[in-house]
Structure 1
Amino acid sequence: MPSKNATSDAVRAHFRSQGQACARLESPFTARLCAVLADVLTLETPLGARVLTWPGDPTGDALALRVCGGFQALSWEDANLAALYPPAKISEQSFTAGLVEWMKQNDARLMPWLDGPPQTNEVSRCSALLGGLLHIGGEIELLEVGASAGLNLYPDRYAYDLGEGVQYGDGPVRIVTEWSGQCPPLDQGLRIVSRAGCDVAPINVADDAARRRLRAYVWPDQPARIARFEGAVAMVADAQPDIRKLGAAEFLRETLAAPVPEGRIRVVQHSIMWQYMPVEEQEQAEHAIRSAGARDGARLAWLRLEADDTPGSAAILLTRFPDGRTVELGRGDFHGRWVRWH
């Protein structure tokens, strides 16, 4: 992370880049919001002053998405802001004018949303994780780092439509993914015998305020995503997942210390969260995994869906122990819309 503040030009470029990414991810509203903010933020307002002098890497910190989450949450409370949101259809000129006018009186209300990274807990990422878990096979003890509300701790409880008539599971929440390449061994079934996760800011979806905060990061012009989110939240609220308020390294040191029971394999998974951790925490978390792999031999695996140097998609990586060799199983869309299996 840079030691000095980002320049205002760098922050504006980040907002424009995030807007382009939102357009590729089929959210024209969020794309427009990011692009307009890139143009209208000013150092003369509380929000603009803080955002345009951001003390770090705006991209790594997902700064634009923090702001967008705040705007959506406030749109549920403010009729003037809500008038700019879907399903309203207004011109870009009217949208910009309305947003600027609203910000004149309200932009300080967005400040708390800058204090932490977004938590999308995107359920459709389970399609990529499903492929990895079926590839691993056996009786799985599932551990998730950056679990947020725990929605992705239950990949065995969703229904999947992988295209061309290929389906898996019969859960009430349906995940549609365009799958290409060899399909995972769907006939063997997914057996998860235990599950636990951690997050530095875990979300209890049984709490209305916490659930609304998580919902604020689901883009407002994507009704299918919203429906999946609501269905997954209802399921997880009943399941009451074991999500511990811990950093990744501490959680892994604690949970990986116990021996793996005979006949089981312990799997550490995470998706689109590694970039939000400080480098030191990343190094300590990886050390905890590899140290446990040296002890537990072939009964530990590390599965993740994370961004890398290839733009437009995330790598689906699997590290098996004891050899510690990492293979790229495939590539996945950041929101689970498609998977390309190798």
Structure 2
Amino acid sequence: MNDPLASQYEEFGRRWAHDTSPLYEQWSLGIAGDREVLTLLRSLPAEKQQPNLIFASARWAGGPLAGYPEWRDWLVQNWDAVADVARARTTQTNEAGRCATWMPPLSRIDGPVALLEVGAAAGLCLFPDRYGYEYTTPPGIRRLEPAEPTSVTLPCRIDDADAVPARYPEVVWRRGIDLAPIDASDPAQIDWLATLIWPGPVHDERVARLRAAARIASADPPRIARGDLLELLSDVAAESPADATLVVFHSAVLLYLDSRQRRRFAELMSGLGAAVGRRVMWLSNETKGTLDEIDAQVPAGLDTSHRFVQTRDATAIALAGQHGAVYETAPFRA
């Protein structure tokens, strides 16, 4: 397919929505072959043409959860309203379930830990120590519960029982950076996050989990700096406790940057420890195709659909399900 925008929707439908959100798969593939709708999309800035943002904007504006022909007619008739929402909003998939895939590397850090999430939205992933976990391993189920009772238990299928975390990290500091921080105590802002969750049986439980995690975050709200991660990273990192391991982490953030910005971020991370005088660990959950040096570590022919390549200090260590339900270390075991 020669049209990059059509290809973007084709990939979203076949690689990400397939088998998880039949409706979004149908919408994506429908748009990929629909010249009129593609022309409407091109009236928006490139960063506002993303499938998830457009679909959520349509739902926010009152669009029906219907098959492509009906939904497409509604979209064309109500395009101005949808475009207004897309211009005013951003894609922020603040999925607390991803903490289940952060816990294996976090639990192995000795001593106090300072967490800095770039692309933090409402900061729901800044509380891995406040959630419970249920890991399904080849030998059986392993559970981990925090000292204080929790309303959120995150399920995850993991392929190696030795990778299951045995303890919680000692989190002493939590911060975030986001272009448009979300207040976890504001029901309207949480409603937008809920609208970003895809329709479909695989995703229905995520809405309840989102709202429960938002209540945890609103009880102890982290500071989230508003602005560009490339501009704020060093300054916010320098605020962390000097005696703690600073963990900078992110999920599905770099794909929204262009290649030059991604390279700049990787350069910043490689020198961050020296710049701020602290021990720094860089944890990343990003799609294949984000950084060439990471792609080179992925075995040829490995299917990464619905999964991030998880890296620790730019070394691939696992495949992580896009919403936290899967953690696979086998492709990268020595």
Instruction: Indicate whether the TM-score tops 0.5.
Output: yes
Question: Within 1, Cα distance between the matches of 2:172 and 2:209?
Answer: 24
TM-score, length-scaled by structure 2: 0.82
Deviations 1:256-286 (A, max 9, x none): 3357533x21111111111212444434433
Does the Cα contact within 8 Å between 1:120 and 1:214 map onto a contact in 2? yes
Partner-residue secondary structure (3-state), 1:187: coil
Structure 1 residue 337: Cα displacement = 1.9
Q: Does 1:202 align with 2:181?
A: yes
Q: What is the match of residue 11 of structure 1?
A: 5
**RMSD, aligned CA:** 2.7
Does the Cα contact within 8 Å between 1:62 and 1:118 map onto a contact in 2? no
Question: Within 2, Cα distance between the matches of 1:208 and 1:247?
Answer: 25
Select which of 281, 284, 291 maps to 2:271.
291
Does the Cα contact within 8 Å between 1:145 and 1:269 map onto a contact in 2? yes
Q: Does 1:193 align with 2:172?
A: yes
Does the Cα contact within 8 Å between 2:28 and 2:51 map onto a contact in 1? yes
Counterparts in 2 of 1:331 and 1:103: CA distance versus 1, 3 Å: closer
Structure 1 residue 150: Cα displacement = 0.4
Q: Does 1:314 align with 2:308?
A: yes
Question: Within 2, Cα distance between the matches of 1:233 and 1:318?
Answer: 27
Structure 2: runs of 5 or more not aligned: 290-297, 299-303
Question: Within 2, Cα distance between the matches of 1:308 and 1:107?
Answer: 32
Q: Does 1:136 align with 2:109?
A: yes
Does the Cα contact within 8 Å between 1:134 and 1:186 map onto a contact in 2? yes
Q: What is the match of residue 230 of structure 2?
A: 249
Instruction: Give the partner amino acid of 1:151.
Output: L
Q: What is the match of residue 277 of structure 1?
A: 257
Q: What is the match of residue 38 of structure 1?
A: 32
Q: What is the match of residue 322 of structure 1?
A: none
Aligned ranges 1:73-152 → 2 under 5 Å: 73-75=60-62, 81-82=63-64, 84=65, 95-115=67-87, 117-152=90-125
Does the Cα contact within 8 Å between 1:315 and 1:331 map onto a contact in 2? yes
Structure 1 residue 251: Cα displacement = 2.3
Counterparts in 2 of 1:333 and 1:49: CA distance versus 1, 3 Å: same
Q: Does 1:64 align with 2:36?
A: no
Instruction: Give the partner amino acid of 2:207.
Output: I
Does the Cα contact within 8 Å between 1:42 and 1:52 map onto a contact in 2? no
Structure 1 residue 158: Cα displacement = 1.1
Counterparts in 2 of 1:278 and 1:65: CA distance versus 1, 3 Å: same
Instruction: Give the partner amino acid of 2:86.
Output: L
Does the Cα contact within 8 Å between 1:40 and 1:100 map onto a contact in 2? no
Q: What is the match of residue 267 of structure 1?
A: 247
Does the Cα contact within 8 Å between 1:316 and 1:329 map onto a contact in 2? yes
After TM superposition, the structure 1 stretch with the greater mean CA deviation from structure 2, 105-114 or 172-181, is 105-114
Counterparts in 2 of 1:10 and 1:288: CA distance versus 1, 3 Å: closer
Counterparts in 2 of 1:37 and 1:261: CA distance versus 1, 3 Å: same
Question: Within 1, Cα distance between the matches of 2:153 and 2:180?
Answer: 27
Select which of 322, 325, 328 maps to 1:337.
325
Aligned ranges 1:153-164 → 2 under 5 Å: 153-163=126-136, 164=140
Question: Within 1, Cα distance between the matches of 2:275 and 2:24?
Answer: 46
Select which of 231, 236, 239 maps to 2:217.
236
Partner-residue secondary structure (3-state), 2:180: coil
Larger radius of gyration: 1
Structure 1: runs of 5 or more not aligned: 1-5, 76-80, 86-94, 320-325
Counterparts in 2 of 1:196 and 1:112: CA distance versus 1, 3 Å: same
Does the Cα contact within 8 Å between 1:260 and 1:299 map onto a contact in 2? no
Structure 1 residue 117: Cα displacement = 4.3
Structure 1 residue 152: Cα displacement = 0.5
Question: Within 2, Cα distance between the matches of 1:256 and 1:29?
Answer: 41
Structure 1 residue 293: Cα displacement = 1.7
- Give aligned-pair identity as a percent: 23
Structure 1 residue 290: Cα displacement = 2.9
Instruction: Give the partner amino acid of 2:141.
Output: G
Structure 1 residue 162: Cα displacement = 0.9
Does the Cα contact within 8 Å between 2:114 and 2:240 map onto a contact in 1? no
The number of aligned residues is 307
Counterparts in 2 of 1:283 and 1:100: CA distance versus 1, 3 Å: closer
Question: Within 2, Cα distance between the matches of 1:25 and 1:175?
Answer: 21
Question: Within 2, Cα distance between the matches of 1:234 and 1:329?
Answer: 32
